[in-house]
Amino acid sequence: MALFIFLLIPLISLTAKDNKSIAILYPVLHPFFRETSAGARIEARNLGIEVIIDGPENSNVEDQLMILEKYISEGVDGIAISVSDPEILIPTINKAVQHDIKVLCFDSDAPGSQRLSYIGTQNTNAGVHIAQAVLTQIGERGSVLINLGSSNQANLQERYHAFTSYLEVYPEIQIKSVFGGHGDYEDTVLQLEKAIEESPEFDIFVGFDAASGPAAVSVWRTRGLKKDIIVFDDQKEVLEGIRDGIISSAIVQEQKLWGELIVRTLSKALDGESIPEFIYTDTNQITLKNYSYYYPEFR
């Protein structure tokens, strides 16, 4: 993960015109969330709200828990959190609510908590989306390697369960290996290398988290592999991989919009307005045929 840390700086604070303060807490400081931060900055300036962006440098629920406790103690007005482990974090999320802090989840939810709202991808639909992409790529027969990322994150679990459920009616699609790189680039590379060594005859690699794409591109370039890859998200390495014919397709999310919606929704809650419990955003499939339309800078 050290490769990525310079792209996100913790404790980014935007000076406010009034006293409203919102903390946006990531499960890990990762380039994937760069656009979320950008969207939040734009909306914060428009609304005159102070936004603090923070998260662990490595994917570690205990570190995220301590960061959450910190902002409860500091008495921020609102917290938006992408939850790394609901079982561990729900009691502290509820504690924040009991301290009259408006709390919502984004990206990865904490079902059963007292949070006001969830903003992000409808992850069951996203799991079906990537399953359909796999069928389009390899047909109704083939073997699959999967990086789940972190088995504790609700969003990744929801995607994976929807993916496997959708493929149950295709018995000749076989999942050969499911591993977890815990959102860490270097760990994901190591786990992917191990899975390839154990199942070298696989047909496609599927990655459910943001570390999967960059790790796969690195491994494929090193090994000269010609196997298919389908992953989530649109980091620079993923788009370059699509352009260069390494990645077959990517299911991308609207993480910049999340940042805008987080600030806007918490601002409304702080003003006493009612907000919906779920605010879902779309996914798009990016391939060699359409990537230059969505990302002209990568032509």
Six token digits for residue 199: 């199942």
Q: Which residues contact 86 (CB under 8 A, 6 or more apart)?
A: 109, 110, 111, 112, 113, 152, 154
In Å, how far are 15, 53, 60, 182, 266 from 113, measured between CA atoms?
30, 22, 20, 23, 17
Using pLDDT thresholds of 50, 70 and 90, give the confidence band for residue 297.
confident
Distance CA 226, CA 292 (A): 22
* pLDDT computed for residue 1 by the predictor: 39
Radius of gyration for the chain, computed over Cα atoms and rounded to the nearest angstrom: 19
CB neighbours of 157 closer than 8 A, spacing ≥ 6?
151
To the nearest 10°, the Cα dihedral for 89, 95, 98, 99? -120
The residues near 103 (Cβ < 8 Å, ≥ 6 apart) are 78, 79, 80, 81, 93, 96, 97, 113, 114, 115, 116
pLDDT in tens, 30-72: 999 999 999 999 999 999 999 999 999 988 999 999 999 999 9
In tens, the pLDDT along 121-154 reads 999 999 999 999 999 999 999 999 999 998 899 9
- Under DSSP, is residue 52 helix (H, G, I), strand (E, B) or coil? strand
Percent of the chain with pLDDT over 70: 94
Helices (H) and strands (E) in the chain, counts: 10, 13
* Topology classification of domain 123-253+287-298: Rossmann fold (3.40.50)
**Does an H or E element contain 89, and which?**
helix 86-98
Choose between 171 and 14: higher pLDDT: 171
Contacts of residue 77, Cβ cutoff 8 Å, sequence gap at least 6: 19, 20, 21, 22, 101, 102, 266, 270
What is the pLDDT at residue 247?
98
Looking at per-residue pLDDT, the higher value among 16 and 89 belongs to 89
CATH H-level superfamily of 5-121+254-282: Response regulator (3.40.50.2300)
The predicted-structure confidence for 206-234, as pLDDT tens digits, reads as follows 999 999 999 999 999 999 999 999 999 99
Q: Which residues pair with 207 in a beta bridge?
A: 147, 231
**Domain locations in the chain as residue ranges:** 5-121+254-282, 123-253+287-298
Q: Assess whether the region 5-121+254-282 and the region 123-253+287-298 belong to the same CATH fold.
A: yes
Residue closest to 52 by CA, chosen among 31, 30, 37:
37
Q: What pLDDT, in 10s, does the model give residues 230-272?
A: 999 999 999 999 999 999 999 999 999 999 999 999 999 999 9
Give the pLDDT score at 59: 85
* pLDDT for 299 beyond 80: no
Q: Tell me, what's the pLDDT at 227?
A: 97
Calculate the alpha carbon distances from 201 to 50, 137, 174, 226 in Å.
Answer: 52, 16, 12, 12
Per DSSP, what are the bridge partners of residue 71?
none
